[in-house]
Chains A and B, each alone.
Chain A
Amino acid sequence: MSDTTYLSEMKEIRVDESSKLFDKNGMLYKEFASDYRQIRYYTLLIVQSAPLEIKEINLLEQQISEVIKNAVKHGNQCNPDKKVRVWYSFDSTHARLVVQDEGDGFKDMEKWNDFNRKRLELLSKHDFEGLADYVSFRTQKSDDNDGGNALFAALEYWNGGFVFDRSRTAVAMLKQFPKKKHSMN
């Protein structure tokens, strides 16, 4: 029996320079040195602007931490002279970020998409044996600290979009928080 739900909503990472997610108007801005040790601190500095009404603030923090980690580590190769620039805006219904690094860009995007497609196909066929080879995306530069699946989660989490610019050094993302049905407003 084939289950097509995974395929029907197949997600992939795209390049979309003109996406309105890159519009930095009115966003808060911070820049950081590429210091791997300080990623949690950077994340906290950013997420402290988010209103407390966002219920899943820990999940948000985790996802922001992942994209900053990508920029610091895979983008800037932890070179402290290279900066990570972050634009961000929050309110009770959304979280939007643009994260820019000074690296060579996400070269393996196509490979990642192929990998993800294959993975989803196996999932839809319930081929769990074949799936074992597609648990974690690895490149030659991956090390033991790379789980290889942060982007799968990111694609799921950033429900308003997760797109790169043409140089693939900047990524913009949007999370929309649904309005509560029982809310009295």
Chain B
Amino acid sequence: MNLLTFSQLVESSLPARLVLVGGLLALFFSQKAKDTEGHVGAFLAALFCLAARDVVVVWIQVPLLPQLAYLGDLAYACCVLYIVLAAYEKKRLVAFLFISLNVLAAGLIVDVNYLGLLPFVPPAWVFPAILLLDGLLIGLLGLLKHRQRDSQTRQLVRFIWPLASLTMVAYAAAAWFLHYDSPVLQRLIVPVSYWWFLAAGLASFRMQDAQMVQACTYYEASIDSLYNLFIATGSALKGSFSVEDVLKSLNDILITETGASGGLVFLVDEFDDQISVKAHSGVFPPPFELPENLPRKANRVESHMRHLQLSLEETLFGEIARTGTDLFIPDARNDERIFRNGDEEYLYLASFMAVPLMVEDRIIGLAAVARNQPGSFFSESEFDRYKLLANFGTLALSHFFSFLEAKERSGLKQSADTAAEIQKAITPKRLPQFPSLQVGVYSLPAVGVSGDYYDVIQTRKDRVIGVVGDVAGKGVAAALVMVMIRSILHLVTNTTRDMATVLDWINRGMTGKMDIDHYATISVMAFDLHTGEVEYASAGHQPLLIYRRATDSIETIDIQSVPIGVERVTEFTRKVLKLADGDIVALYTDGIIEALNEQGKQYGRKSIASMIIRHKELAPKEIVAKIKSDLASFVGSTRQHDDQTVLVFKMKL
């Protein structure tokens, strides 16, 4: 084996040939990233074989040059055979046979030159003859080749087979007749024989471009469809907040964009495990067996489909909603999953596709479209488009559901806010104070309840009415009851009649006249600012607490009666008490005594009583402040469920 010297190498054809092969390699390498079908790899392999052959033939001068060169040529021919034939599954056997033949020939070469196992030496023309045969075979197969052009590789093969075949044949013939060391072969024919690679590379580029343009066109159309989808569902939202309207426009757009004869949209029911049709448009022949007793009439079948309700175990619709898998049945007439109900137009299901509507991994329903014209099938790309649209449609739908939920929540909040505002508006901004009677209040509304009411009303120079009430229920209804009680109270308190009568008037004014529940407990007290005499009446309210300075103890006064609103005729009773200087009275609502701490214990009436005793020297404002902070430390971070009110008076005679 002799290597060329440097000057010999420069003078040889090798550098030029390697540069040429290198350029071709670069051409195919640049396409490798976009190659989804794998043919670029075969081209690269063929080019590497060529490069190797050139190095062997030109640089490594060996006595057995022709045989070694044939070895390289056979490998190269195998690659080309593979390129041309591998694209067609049915020709793989032919490719395998011929590649085997080449390998056999290569084996012969090795044997003849190095091993000598075989008893005979094949004539030298056998090798170029096999090459020639390879080239002819490529040409022959290319001629026979069908018009299949459904993949990029097949398109490319259809373009290159005449070039590849011609080049192979010409090269093999030249090698046969001119011998390997012929300068004409080495310097002219070999480089020229590479040109078909250039053509193949450029053609492949062109095809990739065309594919990209096609993809762009597809995506443009998809974006148009999506735009239509969002316009349609969006305008359904403008018109109403009905789920049905939004689903109908979604369904309609799915039908239009897929060219279907009809479509269905199912939703999984809110609470039960079943699906029901929420939108139905066009003609949708049933894909499942219709009930026997259903009359086979177009309008009856349509109505059956329109009001379909299925468990997740029933029919292929139930299965899609259960498993979340797509279903694409282009030829529905010849598919066992589809039941054939009949040949009438409204029963003839030609083509079918369905997709689950999914938000992340939750299945909220499914959509299906159908065609009923015989022979009209949905295509693969229509199915792709359908899936895309359904996905985006689900997204729009899920936003719509979120919106409804937010709307509902804000509705609830708004109603609670309104009630709280009414409550705030009718409670006194600041309490009046009197030389002989000091007043203090602590009132904390609970979120969304708004049931407590308190008031201090001066009706005469020497007479002050104190009120604490608790309306049952919550929201605007409770606030309205509170407004009514306050209105009646303010109208009637300026009377010479007793407090029991005042309660009776309120009760008669409230009971049995309205359609809303209107129960309230209420305590009223009338103070005589000169004498310290107090009149006390209660309608089912919490007992009154009185701190007596004389005995330094708490007295509890309870008047049993039903609340306002239970019976129109109720006998309310009153008690007359006498307060001395320094005596304290407290009215409060159940929200205070039933306030829970983290251990589930209630604050209790006793806590209010002991707070009053402990702070008996303080003014009512300060006493309620003490109760407030004591209560706050008692409940800690436990959420409170009811309004809390305590109203405290102190006599200063």
Q: In B405-420, which residues have CB < 8 Å from any A CB?
A: 405, 412, 415-416
Chain A residue total in the interface (Cβ 8 A): 25
Q: In A141-185, which residues have CB < 8 Å from any B CB?
A: 178, 180-184
The reply to whether the CB of A49 lies closer than 8 angstroms to some CB of chain B is yes
Q: Which residues of B contact A27 (CB under 8 A)?
A: 600
Q: Which residues of A contact B472 (CB under 8 A)?
A: 41, 44-45, 48
> Could you mark each residue 607-638 of chain B with 1 if its beta carbon is under 8 Å from any beta carbon of chain A, else 0?
00000000000000000000000000000000
The reply to whether the CB of A1 lies closer than 8 angstroms to some CB of chain B is no
Report which residue of A25, A28, A33, A181 has the largest number of chain B beta carbons within 10 angstroms of its beta carbon: A181
Query: Is A28 touching B641 in the complex (CB atoms < 8 A)?
Result: yes
Whether A41 contacts B519 in the complex (CB less than 8 A), given A27-B600, A48-B449, comes out as yes
Residue of B nearest to A45 (CB): B472
Chain B interface helix/strand/loop/mixed: loop
Whether A48 contacts B270 in the complex (CB less than 8 A), given A37-B567, A182-B364, comes out as no
Tell me the bound Cα distance from A27 to B638 in angstroms. 12
Whether A49 contacts B364 in the complex (CB less than 8 A), given A28-B596, A38-B562, comes out as no
Whether A184 contacts B402 in the complex (CB less than 8 A), given A40-B517, A48-B472, A49-B642, comes out as yes
Query: Is A181 touching B269 in the complex (CB atoms < 8 A)?
Result: yes
Query: Is A24 touching B412 in the complex (CB atoms < 8 A)?
Result: no
Give the contacting residue for A41; candidates B362, B405, B566; CB below 8 A. Answer: B566
The reply to whether the CB of A132 lies closer than 8 angstroms to some CB of chain B is no
> Could you mark each residue 463-486 of chain B with 1 if its beta carbon is under 8 Å from any beta carbon of chain A, else 0?
000000000111100100000000
Query: Is A49 touching B641 in the complex (CB atoms < 8 A)?
Result: yes
Query: Is A40 touching B519 in the complex (CB atoms < 8 A)?
Result: yes
Tell me the bound Cα distance from A45 to B471 in angstroms. 9
Q: Which residues of A contact B596 (CB under 8 A)?
A: 26, 28
Chain B residue total in the interface (Cβ 8 A): 39
The reply to whether the CB of B563 lies closer than 8 angstroms to some CB of chain A is yes
Query: Is A182 touching B566 in the complex (CB atoms < 8 A)?
Result: no
Closest chain-B Cβ to A29's Cβ sits at a distance in Å of 7
Give the contacting residue for B398; candidates A25, A38, A184; CB below 8 A. Answer: A184
> Could you mark each residue 325-363 of chain B with 1 if its beta carbon is under 8 Å from any beta carbon of chain A, else 0?
000000000000000000000000000000000010010
The reply to whether the CB of A59 lies closer than 8 angstroms to some CB of chain B is no
Report which residue of A49, A181, A182 has the largest number of chain B beta carbons within 10 angstroms of its beta carbon: A182
Q: Which residues of B contact A41 (CB under 8 A)?
A: 472, 519, 540, 562-563, 565-566
> Could you mark each residue 13-31 of chain A with 1 if its beta carbon is under 8 Å from any beta carbon of chain B, else 0?
0000000000011111110
The reply to whether the CB of B505 lies closer than 8 angstroms to some CB of chain A is no
Closest chain-A Cβ to B81's Cβ sits at a distance in Å of 59
The reply to whether the CB of B524 lies closer than 8 angstroms to some CB of chain A is no
Query: Is A38 touching B563 in the complex (CB atoms < 8 A)?
Result: yes
Residue of B nearest to A88 (CB): B641
The reply to whether the CB of B393 lies closer than 8 angstroms to some CB of chain A is no
Q: Which residues of A contact B416 (CB under 8 A)?
A: 52
Whether A37 contacts B271 in the complex (CB less than 8 A), given A28-B596, A52-B448, A184-B402, comes out as no
Give the contacting residue for A184; candidates B401, B475, B600; CB below 8 A. Answer: B401
Q: Which residues of B contact A53 (CB under 8 A)?
A: 412
Tell me the bound Cα distance from A181 to B398 in angstroms. 12
Tell me the bound Cα distance from A27 to B599 in angstroms. 10
Residue of A nearest to B411 (CB): A52
Q: In B517-576, which residues have CB < 8 Å from any A CB?
A: 517, 519, 540, 560, 562-563, 565-567
Closest chain-A Cβ to B599's Cβ sits at a distance in Å of 9
Q: In B458-511, which residues have CB < 8 Å from any A CB?
A: 472-475, 478
Closest chain-B Cβ to A79's Cβ sits at a distance in Å of 14
Query: Is B600 touching A35 in the complex (CB atoms < 8 A)?
Result: no
Give the contacting residue for A183; candidates B267, B405, B451, B478; CB below 8 A. Answer: B405
Residue of A nearest to B243 (CB): A182
Query: Is A37 touching B562 in the complex (CB atoms < 8 A)?
Result: yes
Tell me the bound Cα distance from A28 to B594 in angstroms. 8
Q: Which residues of A contact B448 (CB under 8 A)?
A: 52
Query: Is B600 touching A25 in the complex (CB atoms < 8 A)?
Result: yes
Query: Is B473 touching A44 in the complex (CB atoms < 8 A)?
Result: yes
Q: In B268-283, which residues have CB < 8 Å from any A CB?
A: 268-271
Whether A29 contacts B364 in the complex (CB less than 8 A), given A35-B562, A180-B270, comes out as no
Q: Which residues of B contact A28 (CB under 8 A)?
A: 594, 596, 641
Q: Which residues of B contact A52 (CB under 8 A)?
A: 412, 415-416, 448, 475
Tell me the bound Cα distance from A48 to B447 in angstroms. 12
The reply to whether the CB of B602 lies closer than 8 angstroms to some CB of chain A is yes
Q: In B635-653, which residues have CB < 8 Å from any A CB?
A: 641-642
Tell me the bound Cα distance from A24 to B596 in angstroms. 13
Tell me the bound Cα distance from A33 to B402 in angstroms. 45
Tell me the bound Cα distance from A53 to B596 in angstroms. 23
Tell me the bound Cα distance from A141 to B77 in angstroms. 106
> Could you mark each residue 579-596 of chain B with 1 if its beta carbon is under 8 Å from any beta carbon of chain A, else 0?
000000000001000101
Residue of B nearest to A41 (CB): B519
Tell me the bound Cα distance from A27 to B602 in angstroms. 10
Q: Which residues of B contact A184 (CB under 8 A)?
A: 359, 398, 401-402, 405
Tell me the bound Cα distance from A28 to B602 in angstroms. 9
Query: Is B600 touching A48 in the complex (CB atoms < 8 A)?
Result: no
Q: Which residues of B contact A30 (CB under 8 A)?
A: 590, 594
Whether A178 contacts B271 in the complex (CB less than 8 A), given A27-B600, A28-B641, A52-B448, comes out as yes
Tell me the bound Cα distance from A35 to B560 in angstroms. 11
Give the contacting residue for B364; candidates A24, A26, A48, A181; CB below 8 A. Answer: A181
Query: Is B270 touching A181 in the complex (CB atoms < 8 A)?
Result: yes
Q: In A30-70, which residues have CB < 8 Å from any B CB?
A: 30, 33, 35, 37-38, 40-41, 44-45, 48-49, 52-53
Report which residue of A37, A38, A48, A180 has the largest number of chain B beta carbons within 10 angstroms of its beta carbon: A48
Residue of B nearest to A27 (CB): B600
Closest chain-A Cβ to B429's Cβ sits at a distance in Å of 27
Residue of A nearest to B567 (CB): A37
> Could you mark each residue 87-130 of chain B with 1 if its beta carbon is under 8 Å from any beta carbon of chain A, else 0?
00000000000000000000000000000000000000000000
Query: Is B474 touching A29 in the complex (CB atoms < 8 A)?
Result: no
> Could you mark each residue 58-87 of chain A with 1 if its beta carbon is under 8 Å from any beta carbon of chain B, else 0?
000000000000000000000000000000
Closest 10 CB pairs of A and B: A44-B472, A41-B519, A184-B402, A178-B271, A52-B412, A49-B641, A26-B600, A182-B401, A48-B474, A45-B472
Chain A contact residues, CB within 8 Å of chain B: 24-30, 33, 35, 37-38, 40-41, 44-45, 48-49, 52-53, 178, 180-184
Chain B contact residues, CB within 8 Å of chain A: 267-271, 359, 362, 364, 398, 401-402, 405, 412, 415-416, 448-449, 451, 472-475, 478, 517, 519, 540, 560, 562-563, 565-567, 590, 594, 596, 600, 602, 641-642
A to B CB contacts below 8 Å, 7 in the list: A28-B596, A29-B602, A33-B560, A37-B562, A40-B517, A41-B562, A182-B270
Task: Given contacts A29-B594, A182-B364, list 20 more A-B pairs with CB under 8 A.
Answer: A26-B596, A27-B600, A29-B602, A37-B567, A40-B517, A41-B540, A41-B563, A41-B565, A44-B519, A45-B519, A48-B449, A48-B473, A48-B474, A52-B415, A178-B271, A180-B270, A180-B271, A181-B269, A183-B401, A183-B405
